[in-house]
């Protein structure tokens, strides 16, 4: 891949010609605009539908029709163990052992379930560190977790805030807040990649420093999973959760995911709210009282697998099987690098890219903060077949996704934005 870019269609197309992921585009369905595929830059919000979802959905419907309850054993993908279709594949995506992950529930529900296990505050160690302006669901979850234990959220929650006049957090500042919180810190619960700015945090370092002060560390990986390489096990992260409908293309409201480090998961004394599907398989169907958790992340799974809500996950992870996040990351850096190069040509437009310019501190997303006319420009983009994402009060988020976006997509976006 070249290191000097050119702002021309021919140049963008020449990059597509040598892109090993170019054929992957064919595996997805694109919304249409004037009879052509839109330029879709919203994979950070809702990934596109893999073409195989319809076929796999029909297969489950047919198996249900044919077998009724016996489909738990006789379906082509038996429903009894449907969630196990994902453990190996997810473990590669998040850098974990298969026993440390499970596809279950949904993101915010998992945030709560994991906080119930890892936020066990005392009168002196009860603080939670999170990003200021985190995704609202995460803010509400942390507020109510603190309240559940009788704490005032304004006292219990320490927010990480950029310095005055800056948009992103400095690593040294994050680490200092952790060290300053010291013995009072119970848990860090923050994004791996911030949803608004696209900033990728140094999860390894944050985990290391937090453990030094005796706190647990969990990450909300909604914007990190399938976007950037993760090594949760090696980083010694305590717990994490994510949704599957952003970079993992698993459909609106698709099943969420959980990571629990094996040294916690294997410890049956770690408290978890229980449901029958979290119980040891040997006694799961004995229908007796006395919860015995599995010694894996599966013990945070409450219920039997929501099969129809997992079909798209199955289809999408089949596509991830044909590649790896590290291979995708290589293209992603080029694609987002090219997008940055083109945006930097548009010096007459009133925006600042608030996402870090260092590729090691971002995934594929770029957040453009408009000093004026943001909404107007966003609407013009939409009218011209560019699907981007508008975040109040003044940010357009763009996510060139390496699985299905092309260099030509990025160039067309630039061309359209130029005329806005």
* Residue among 15 and 174 whose Cβ is closer to ligand PLP: 174
Tokens for 44, please give them.
């950070």
CA dihedral 275, 279, 282, 285 (to 10 degrees): -10
Residue 130, both tokens: 């999170």
Helix (H, G, I), strand (E, B), or coil: what is residue 179? helix
Give the shortest CB-107-to-ligand PLP separation in angstroms: 4
Q: Does 223 bind ligand PLP (CB under 6 A)?
A: yes
DSSP count for the chain of H helices, then E strands: 15, 17
User: Angle 107-118/136-148 helices, nearest 10 degrees?
Assistant: 30
User: Are 313 and 84 contacting, i.e. CB atoms less than 8 angstroms apart?
Assistant: no
Q: According to the binding rule CB under 6 A, does residue 107 interact with ligand PLP? A: yes
Residues from 350 through 379 that contact ligand PLP (CB under 6 A): none
Binding status of residue 108 toward ligand PLP by CB under 6 A? yes
| Binding status of residue 249 toward ligand PLP by CB under 6 A | no
* Site membership for ligand PLP, residue 199 (CB under 6 A): no
- Residue position matching structure tokens 């803010």: 139
Q: 392, 342, 330, 331: which is closest to 366 by C-alpha? A: 342
43 is a site residue for ligand PLP (CB under 6 A)? no
5 vs 41, beta carbon nearer ligand PLP: 41
Closer to ligand PLP by CB, 251 or 402: give it.
Answer: 251
Q: Does 389 bind ligand PLP (CB under 6 A)?
A: no
Q: How many residues bind ligand PLP (CB under 6 A)?
A: 12
Regarding 112 and contact with ligand PLP (CB under 6 A), the answer is no
CA distances from 50 to 30, 77, 109, 386, 400 (A): 10, 19, 26, 20, 17
Contact flag: residue 106 with ligand PLP (CB under 6 A) = yes
Angle at 52 between CA 47 and CA 55, to 5 degrees: 130
What residues contact residue 171 under an 8 Å CB cut-off, 6+ apart? 201, 202, 205
* Residue with smaller CB distance to ligand PLP, 139 or 268: 139
- Closest Cα to residue 38, out of 417, 385, 413? 385
135 contributes a contact to ligand PLP by CB under 6 A: yes
Stretch that binds ligand PLP, among 105-113, 231-239, 292-300, 310-318 (CB under 6 A): 105-113
Q: Scanning the structure block, which residue is given the tokens 């073409």?
A: 51
**Minimum distance, C-beta of residue 63 to ligand PLP, in the bound complex (Å):** 27
Which member of 113, 188, 243, 354 binds ligand PLP (CB under 6 A)? 243
Q: Which stretch binds ligand PLP (CB under 6 A): 101-109, 209-217, 263-271, 394-402?
A: 101-109
Q: Which stretch binds ligand PLP (CB under 6 A): 135-143, 151-159, 203-211, 409-417?
A: 135-143
CB 216, CB 118: distance < 8 Å: yes
- Does residue 100 belong to the site contacting ligand PLP (CB under 6 A)? no
Query: In this structure, are residues 364 and 334 in contact, taking their beta carbons and an 8 Å threshold?
Result: no
- Compare residues 100 and 138 and give the one whose CB is closer to ligand PLP: 138
**Does residue 220 bind ligand PLP (CB under 6 A)?**
yes
Q: Give 107 or 181: the residue with its C-beta nearer to ligand PLP.
A: 107
Site string for ligand PLP, 277-306 (x = CB under 6 A): ------------------------------
Which among 25-33, 76-84, 220-228, 303-311 is the span making contact with ligand PLP, rule CB under 6 A?
220-228
**Residue 356 neighbours by CB distance under 10 Å:** 17
Q: What angle do CA 248, 249, 253 make, to 5 degrees?
A: 100
The site for ligand PLP (CB under 6 A) is made up of 106-108, 135, 137-138, 191, 195, 220, 222-223, 243
């Amino acid at each position: 891949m070249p290191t000097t870019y050119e702002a021309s269609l021919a140049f963008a197309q020449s990059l597509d010609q040598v892109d090993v992921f170019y054929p992957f585009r064919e595996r997805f369905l694109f919304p249409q605009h004037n009879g052509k595929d839109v330029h879709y830059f919203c994979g950070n919000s809702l990934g596109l539908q893999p073409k195989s979802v319809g076929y796999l959905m029909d297969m489950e419907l047919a198996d249900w029709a044919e077998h009724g309850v016996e489909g738990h054993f006789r379906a082509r993908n038996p429903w009894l163990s449907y969630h196990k279709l994902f453990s190996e594949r997810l473990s590669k995506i998040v850098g974990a052992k298969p026993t440390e992950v499970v596809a279950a529930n949904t993101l915010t529900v998992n945030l709560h379930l994991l906080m119930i296990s890892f936020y066990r505050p005392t009168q002196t160690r009860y603080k939670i560190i999170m990003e200021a302006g985190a995704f609202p669901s995460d803010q509400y979850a942390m507020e109510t977790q603190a309240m559940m234990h009788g704490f005032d959220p304004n006292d219990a929650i320490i927010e990480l805030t950029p310095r005055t006049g800056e948009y992103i957090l400095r690593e040294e500042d994050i680490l200092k807040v952790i060290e300053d919180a010291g013995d009072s810190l119970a848990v860090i619960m923050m994004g791996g990649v911030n949803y608004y700015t696209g900033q990728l945090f140094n999860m390894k370092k944050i985990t290391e420093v937090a453990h030094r002060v005796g706190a647990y560390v969990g990450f909300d990986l909604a914007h990190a999973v399938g976007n950037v390489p993760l090594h949760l096990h090696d980083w010694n992260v305590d717990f994490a959760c994510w949704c599957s409908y952003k970079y993992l293309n698993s459909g609106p409201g698709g099943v969420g995911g959980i990571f629990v480090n094996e040294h916690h998961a294997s410890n049956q004394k770690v408290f978890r709210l229980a449901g029958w599907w979290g119980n040891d398989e040997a006694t799961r169907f004995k229908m007796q009282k006395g919860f015995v958790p599995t010694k894996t992340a599966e013990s945070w799974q409450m219920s039997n697998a929501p099969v129809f809500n997992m079909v798209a996950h199955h289809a999408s992870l089949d596509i991830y099987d044909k590649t790896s996040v590290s291979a995708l990351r290589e293209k992603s850096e080029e694609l987002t690098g090219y997008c940055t190069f083109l945006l930097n040509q548009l010096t007459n437009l009133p925006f600042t890219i608030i996402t870090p310019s260092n590729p090691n501190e971002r995934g594929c997303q770029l957040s453009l903060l408009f000093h004026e006319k943001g909404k107007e420009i966003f609407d013009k983009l939409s009218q011209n077949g560019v699907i981007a994402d508008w975040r109040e009060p003044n940010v357009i988020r763009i996510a060139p996704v390496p699985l299905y976006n092309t260099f030509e997509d990025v160039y067309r976006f630039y061309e359209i934005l130029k005329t806005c």
